[in-house]
Amino acid sequence: MKIIFMGNPEFACPSLKAFFNSDHDLVGVISNKPKRMKRSMNKSFTPLGRLAIDLNQNLFSTDNLSDANLQTWAKKLKPDIFIVVAFKILPNTLLKIPKIGAINLHASLLPRYRGAAPIQHALINGDKVTGNSTFFIKSKVDTGKIILQEKILIDDKDNYESLSKKMSTSGAELLLKSLDKINDPSFKALEQNDKKATYAPKIDKSFCKINWNESAQSIHSKVRALSPAPSAFTLLNGKRLKIYDTRLVKDPLKSPSGSITRIDDKILISCFDSQLELISVQYEGKKRMSAIDWIRGISYTSGIRFD
Query: What integer pLDDT is reported at residue 41 of this predicted model?
Result: 67
Judge whether residue 252 has pLDDT over 80.
no
pLDDT digits (tens, 9 = 90+) for 23-33: 999 999 999 99
Query: What integer pLDDT is reported at residue 251 of this predicted model?
Result: 79
pLDDT-derived band at 37 (thresholds 50, 70, 90) equals confident
pLDDT digits (tens, 9 = 90+) for 39-55: 666 789 999 999 999 99
Query: What integer pLDDT is reported at residue 115 of this predicted model?
Result: 96
Q: How far apart are CA 10 and CA 12, in angstroms?
A: 5
Q: How far apart are CA 107 and CA 110, in angstroms?
A: 9
Contacts 24+ apart (CB under 8 A), 298-301: 298/236, 300/260, 300/262
CB-based contact 147:181 (threshold 8 Å)? yes
- Structural domains for the chain: 2-196 (3.40.50.170), 205-296 (3.10.25.10)
Q: What is the mean pLDDT of residues 107-130?
A: 98
Judge whether residue 300 has pLDDT over 90.
no
pLDDT-derived band at 303 (thresholds 50, 70, 90) equals confident
pLDDT digits (tens, 9 = 90+) for 54-93: 999 999 999 999 999 999 999 999 999 999 999 999 999 9
Among 105, 58, 114, smallest CA distance to 86 is for 105
